[in-house]
Amino acid sequence: MTTRRVVVITGASSGIGRATAVRLARDGAAVVMCARRADRLEAAAADVRAAGGEALPIVADVTRADEVRRLVDAAVERFEHIDVMVCNAGFGIAGAIDDITPDQMQNLVDVNFMGTYHAVRAVLPIFRRRNRGHVIVVSSIVGKRGVPYMGAYAATKFAQAGLAECLRSEVTGSGIHVTVVFPVSTETEFFDVMSRETGTIVTRARGPRQDASVVADAIARAIDRPVPEVFPHAWSRGLVWLNAAAPGICDRFVQRFGRKPVRPE
Ligand SMILES: NC(=O)c1ccc[n+]([C@@H]2O[C@H](COP(=O)([O-])OP(=O)(O)OC[C@H]3O[C@@H](n4cnc5c(N)ncnc54)[C@H](OP(=O)(O)O)[C@@H]3O)[C@@H](O)[C@H]2O)c1
């Protein structure tokens, strides 16, 4: 039986998920890591072990409820319990709403929203049995305030936050915590994936950027001291206040954060 903190992270083969896995490994966590690319997942698992953690890489696609259930079952079989579920797997597509195809929209919903839902649904019975556990949902600052050309993606990020907010109010007073993380633009493979998905060059928006390690540190702090919402970039919470107070002014302000896709010549 392990006394390590047991954390399941979806989308742990790169970016924020991988950085979080390695960050938590430094505190000695056991990290159950999922993604679709086996080679990248194995490399991330090796980083976790090198950082002092225990790693259990499981190839799984979060759009498949049965695969997410298998992930959770594997975690419990190996470590007997789960302390934290980080719902992180996701991707983005940039484009004006009328340029996004129904298939692209469906794919975003399947990965970003349904992937989160499947993970939450799979882990909650385990948390409820122990009256203990922590769900962490990685949304985005555009899950609080939309920006131009990110409408389809932002819709899924709002949906994740809505699910988490309702869940948090359902488990208030219990030993189960729910945290939503709202990163700003973060240096990961996210923008490469976005360009690949649309066959466009996605211009990097103006605005604040952060390293994946900053988000990972913020998630690690939230695990130690659970809070409802985490804004890893200090100023980003100001955007939420501005939007609540003056959404019309905010519409003009966020023009600078739009990511207009450009077709290569
Ligand atoms: N980067 C940013 O600017 C930014 C800002 C705010 C929020 N976020 C959010 O942060 C989260 C992580 O993104 P990232 O920036 O770290 O991008 P990333 O480097 O592209 O990482 C995405 C991760 O999700 C996994 N993934 C994608 N689809 C999956 C699926 N169907 N099943 C299982 N795993 C899947 C990928 O692994 P495989 O391809 O191997 O499956 C990868 O490990 C996302 O939810 C994203 O929306 C990112």
Q: Measuring from atom 7 of ligand 1, which residue has the nearest CA?
A: 140
Domain for residue 265, yes or no?
A: no
CA distance linking residue 213 with residue 211, whole number of Å: 5
CA distance linking residue 69 with residue 63, whole number of Å: 11
Residue count (the chain): 265
The reported pLDDT for the residue numbered 205 is 66
Give the distance (Å) from ligand 1 centre to CA of residue 88.
6
- Tokens coding 234: 């200090």
Q: Measuring from atom 1 of ligand 1, which residue has the nearest CA?
A: 186
- As annotated, the active-site residues are 153
Domain for residue 119, yes or no?
A: yes
Domain for residue 164, yes or no?
A: yes
The reported pLDDT for the residue numbered 217 is 98
Domain for residue 169, yes or no?
A: yes
Low-confidence ranges of the chain (pLDDT < 50): 1
CA distance linking residue 39 with residue 41, whole number of Å: 5
CA-based end-to-end distance of the chain: 58
Q: What is the CATH number of the domain that holds 179?
A: 3.40.50.720
Range list of H helices, the chain = 15-25, 38-50, 65-79, 102-108, 115-130, 151-171, 190-198, 212-224, 236-245, 247-253
Domain for residue 220, yes or no?
A: yes
Residue 57 belongs to what H/E stretch?
strand 54-59
Which numbered atom of ligand 1 lies nearest the CA of 41? Answer: 40
Domain for residue 153, yes or no?
A: yes
Assess contact for 40 and 16: CB atoms under 8 A: no
The reported pLDDT for the residue numbered 178 is 98
Assess contact for 107 and 202: CB atoms under 8 A: no
Give the distance (Å) from ligand 1 centre to CA of residue 34.
11
Of 36, 93, 195, best ligand 1 pocket probe by most atoms within 8 Å of the beta carbon:
36
The reported pLDDT for the residue numbered 257 is 86
Residue with tokens 């056991």: 30
- The reply to whether ligand 1 has any atom less than 6 angstroms from the CB of 143 is no
Q: Residues 37-59: pLDDT tens digits?
A: 999 999 999 999 999 999 999 99
Q: Name beta bridge partners: 135.
A: 85, 178
- Tokens coding 204: 């990097």
Indicate the number of domains in the chain. 1
Long-range contacts of 239-244 (CB under 8 A, 24+ apart): 239/141, 239/144, 239/145, 240/144, 240/145, 243/144, 243/145
- Domain containing 23: what range? 6-260
Domain for residue 150, yes or no?
A: yes
Of 112, 137, 140, 185, best ligand 1 pocket probe by most atoms within 8 Å of the beta carbon:
140
Domain for residue 1, yes or no?
A: no
pTM for the structure as a whole: 0.96
